[in-house]
Structure 1
Amino acid sequence: MKKLFLIIGAPGSGKTTDAELIAANHNTITHYSTGDMFRAEVASGSERGALIDSYVSKGNLVPIEIVIETIVGAIKNAPTDVVVIDGYPRSGEQMTELDKYLETEPEVTLVSVIEVAVSRETAFQRVLGRAADAEVVRADDNEEVFLNRMKLFTDPLADIQAFYTEKNLLKQISGEGTIEAIVAEMDAFIQSKI
């Protein structure tokens, strides 16, 4: 039985870094970032990668069929029974489609959805600071794309929070502190659930 944890948060909330550090501390946890999965597909030069790039480069959502195929494949092929995916769901449609999939998949159970909550100002500073400091600047780290990504995150957020709260699956963690404190809190929570 695969135990699935989803980590959501604004661009720049630190969700990918948090999840990477937790997975690095436990050989029983596999971490996938939807963004990394998509970037790897784009870098491969495949037809699917070109299609993904046409959406991601503008800060838009990748079509649901491609997202579900990518995520389901990752979960099923994970080398561990605990899988942490960050950056999903990003829309009501993605949430609903994953929920439909999980209802018919006896081998995977959604344990929790962890929201890393940060202010818009913190997210903005982190993303644009990342762009200024990086040796390799990500194409989606600029103000216009950030604002579009932020809108895509915040527009469906209340519905996503309500959906997972009703299922008693939502856990909110402040992403405003130090990386060490955030990771410690998230790690302790995940460990308490497995």
Structure 2
Amino acid sequence: MRLLLIGPPGAGKGTQAVRLATHLSIRHISTGDLFREEIARGTELGRNADRHIRAGLLVPDEVTVGVIRERLARPDTEPGFLLDGFPRNPAQAAELDGILARTGSGLDAVLHLEVPDAEVISRIAGRRLCREDPGHIFHVDHDPPEVAGTCAFCGGELYQRDDDREATVRRRLEVYRGETAPVLDHYRGQGLVTTVSALGQVQEVLDRALTAIGRAGSTPRTP
């Protein structure tokens, strides 16, 4: 099965991508992971991506597409894959269509994780990280520490990242709607999109996604 997962920041996309790929025994392909891999390998694609990332810039489409093209050409993707973080815009979506068409295949389904803006803001803006160990994460509403502002594991100070502040989250949502959401229109035209509510517990969302995949896969597609 060949899947694409799309959702706004704070939708739990990374968590669901890993669980879905594991459940379906297919490869989870994340652009962030691929960039790190190419950079570590010292490839030309990696060096190009690293220059942009270090400069705080978006990696150009041609570099991102090149990384994806190389990854999808590996034999371990033949049983299927789940794309997470690509495509980010309609131009990348068109490139992906071309890559898959040249192999005589296509996407089986596009899962759209839907979350209201207010929930996204609550999830992200409520996060607090430990300065001593960033792996210790709390939430002011859903998982507060016993002592406000203090990590329950090591006693370190809790703080809010600049990226997690409400104003920043709102800007990220605007970017998502402006650049990534149109990808959904691209795939709606192909009859591939199924929207899944990302509200509730992780397992509940996973169950909805698996049900949606069952529906999406009930009618075979011709590439």
Give the TM-score, by structure 2 length.
Answer: 0.69
Instruction: Give the structure with higher Rg (CA).
Output: 2
User: CA separation of 1:182/1:62 partners in 2, compared to 1, >3 Å: closer, same or farther?
Assistant: same
Residue identity opposite 2:96 in structure 1: L
Please list, as runs of the form range in 1=range in 2, the aligned pairs for 1:26-37 lying within 5 A after superposition: 26=24, 28-37=25-34
Q: CA RMSD in A?
A: 3.1
Instruction: Provide, for residues 26-58 of structure 1, a one-character-per-residue CA deviation record: whole Å limited to 9, x for no partner.
Output: 4x311112222223444x273644543454567
Find the aligned partners of 1:57 and 1:121 in 2 and give their Cα distance: 32
Residues 1:14 and 1:122: Cα distance change in structure 2 (over 3 Å): same
Is 1:115 the counterpart of 2:112? The answer is: yes
* Secondary structure of 1:11's aligned partner: coil
Return closer, same or farther for 1:191/1:73 CA change in 2, 3 Å cut-off: farther
Q: Provide the residue aligned with 1:23 in structure 2.
A: 21
- Find the counterpart in structure 2 of residue 105 from structure 1: 103
CA contact (8 A) 2:90 2:186 kept: no
Q: Verify the 8 A CA contact 1:30 1:78 in the aligned structure 2.
A: no
The 5 A counterparts of 1:1-194 are 3-26=1-24, 28-42=25-39, 44=40, 46=42, 48-56=45-53, 60-77=57-74, 79-80=76-77, 81-106=79-104, 108-129=105-126, 132=129, 134-135=134-135, 141-143=163-165, 146-191=169-214, 193=217
Q: Which runs of 5+ in 1 are unaligned?
A: none
Indicate if the aligned counterparts of 1:12 and 1:127 stay in contact, CA closer than 8 A.
yes
Structure 1 partner of 2:153: none
Structure-2 change in CA distance of 1:37 and 1:7 (3 Å): same
- Asked if structure 1 preserves the Cα contact closer than 8 Å seen for 2:112 and 2:193, the reply is yes
1:17 maps to a residue whose letter is T
Checking the alignment, whether the CA contact within 8 Å between 1:59 and 1:149 is kept in structure 2 is no
- Quote the sequence identity (%): 28
Separation of aligned partners in 1, 2:2 and 2:192 = 11
- Once residues 30 and 162 of structure 2 are traced to their aligned partners in structure 1, the CA distance between those partners, rounded to angstroms, is 15
CA distance in 1: counterparts of 2:36 and 2:170, whole angstroms: 20
Structure 1 residues 146 and 35 mapped into 2: Cα distance closer, same or farther (>3 Å)? farther
Q: TM-score, length-normalised on structure 1?
A: 0.78
Task: Give, in angstroms, the shift of residue 73 of structure 1.
Answer: 2.1
Note the residue ranges of structure 2 that are not aligned, 5 or more in a row. Answer: 138-160, 219-223
